[in-house]
Amino acid sequence: MSSIETIAPTQSSSVFTLFSPKLLPATLMLGGGVTLYAVESYITATIAPSIVRDIGGLELFSWMTTLFVAAGVLGSITVATRPKGMGLRAVYVVAALTFGAGSLVCAIAPTMPVLLVGRAVQGYGSGMLSGLAYAFIRFIYPQPLWRRASTLYAAIWGVATVLGPTLGGLFAAGGAWREAFVILVPLAVIMAFSARRLLPDVADDRIDTRTPLLQIILLLAAVLFVSIAGTIEQGAYKAVLIAVSAALVAAMVLIERRSEVRLLPYGAVMLGNPIARLYLTIFTMMLVLTSDIYIPYFLQTLHGVTPLISGYLVALVALGWTTAAFFSASFTGRQAAIAIVTGCILETAATASLIPFLATATPFTALAEFAPAVIAMFLMGFGVGLGWAHLVTRIIGIARKADEDKASAAISMTQSLGGAFGAALAGVIVNSAGLTHPGGIAGGLSAANWLYTLMAIPGLLAIILSFTIKPASA
């Protein structure tokens, strides 16, 4: 099937085995796809003000992110719902070329509506690339390396939260936002042509290739509504949009449970099934983690921290994720199960600890004053990274043979949904708590207290779920 069959699947293999001569090409291809999706999300957020100043379209500002996220979810779904007989390598080629085409449209866009078309195309291609990374794991690597590969992809997302804004800032500082898209075009073309040589041509082993159109429509509508909710200021409208989005997801779940044509792997919408609890744990952990988007604001408003320093401090969340991912990469069996439970507890406790550590009006002028909040931010990401790869590996490992593509694609989809719902929910909380009215220090204090109190609650659900996840050897 591929050259990886000649590699001994030893339990002692480390993450660095992924970069051995025989695995390096595929690792670069799959890791590169995840990198494009992750980094591009943050680069565009950073250069967006420069884009608006150049071509206008301030009223459509939020749609640059909204369309990218929604299209990315659709792209990850496409990996599992692709036409019958279409192999994963062919999907990779299409995904890379689609991403490149979207980047080119963005680079030459004369107006905001044209740029939004490019962002949607770009998001669709990058969503496929991200989903393909998990779909290819079982074909590229021996099973003992699945966890290491998942660790690598998790680490990429952590690094992207630092690398993306940094690169975006460089382009924005020079007024070169178009160049930020231009450089992606040849890169995407190279990836597309390299795929035919560096990725195995695996057979399409799906049994049911019918498209669950209704579930896809409901899910995409839910993503759009919740993404829009995260971009408007009125708290009442936010709440309504989130409620509508939640209702659409509930409707999708009900249809999924009764339909013969499924979007998700078998058991994913039945809480009594282990795979459903794994996905729900991923969703809740991402939802809680997204509360970090307001940390820079609170640092600047409540503690007098400069924008530059606050940006680097919030990057500690990403550093924690990446550090924990590599720290726990060698865990197996009971160790892995404990890592998942410990990670959920750490993330929840760290989020709640920001109430006394961050929701105060004390200026941070000395290291001792920074330290508690810094440790809490690091542990938020550390908790997620500690169990993430093991959650992913368990999903791939227990999914039915005919559902393995669906199971892999749903990982990226669930991650995006958790982030989208988390951002929207956080927006509702802080605006309802007075972030803008009365605003200032009083509003910031109220918003911070309510945000980290309420956003820690889903973490309790993640903890409960984590205790039900059995070791892989059980």
CATH number of 175's domain: 1.20.1250.20
Rounded to an integer, the average pLDDT of 240-267 is 92
Helix (H, G, I), strand (E, B) or coil at 366: coil
Q: Are residues 197 and 280 in the same domain?
A: no
Query: Where is average pLDDT lowest: 12-16, 49-53, 241-245?
Result: 12-16
Domain edge (last residue) among 206, 240, 262 = 206
**What does the block give as tokens for 288?**
């809680």
The predicted pLDDT at position 113 comes to 94
Do the domain assignments include residue 181?
yes
| Helix or strand run (H / E) with residue 241 | helix 235-258
pLDDT tens-digit profile of 142-196?
888 888 888 888 788 777 777 777 787 778 777 789 999 999 999 999 999 999 8
Do the domain assignments include residue 350?
yes
The answer to whether the beta carbons of residues 408 and 275 sit under 8 Å apart is no
Q: Are residues 157 and 25 in the same domain?
A: yes
Residues 222-227: contacts with CB under 8 Å, at least 24 apart: 222/246, 222/248, 222/249, 222/252, 223/69, 223/70, 223/73, 223/416, 223/417, 223/420, 224/66, 224/70, 226/420, 226/421, 226/424, 227/65, 227/66, 227/69, 227/70, 227/420, 227/424
More confident residue, 406 or 94: 94
The predicted pLDDT at position 307 comes to 67
pTM (global) more than 0.85: no
- Mean pLDDT score across all residues of the chain: 87
Report helix angle 63-81 to 24-55, nearest 10. 150
Q: Are residues 308 and 414 in the same domain?
A: yes
**What does the block give as tokens for 208?**
């049911």
Domain edge (last residue) among 206, 227, 260 = 206
The predicted pLDDT at position 98 comes to 97
Rounded distance, CA 429 to CA 48, Å?
25
Q: Are residues 170 and 288 in the same domain?
A: no
Do the domain assignments include residue 473?
yes
Domain edge (last residue) among 206, 230, 253 = 206
Q: Are residues 186 and 296 in the same domain?
A: no
The predicted pLDDT at position 181 comes to 93
Do the domain assignments include residue 13?
no
Do the domain assignments include residue 267?
no
Q: Are residues 199 and 298 in the same domain?
A: no
Rounded distance, CA 346 to CA 388, Å?
13
Q: Are residues 301 and 434 in the same domain?
A: yes
Q: Are residues 178 and 71 in the same domain?
A: yes
The answer to whether the beta carbons of residues 331 and 339 sit under 8 Å apart is yes
Domain count, the chain: 2
Strands (E), 265-356: none
Range of the domain at 41: 21-206
Q: Which residue has the tokens 């393909």?
A: 132
More confident residue, 62 or 388: 388
DSSP state letters, 206-229 = -S-----HHHHHHHHHHHHHHHHH
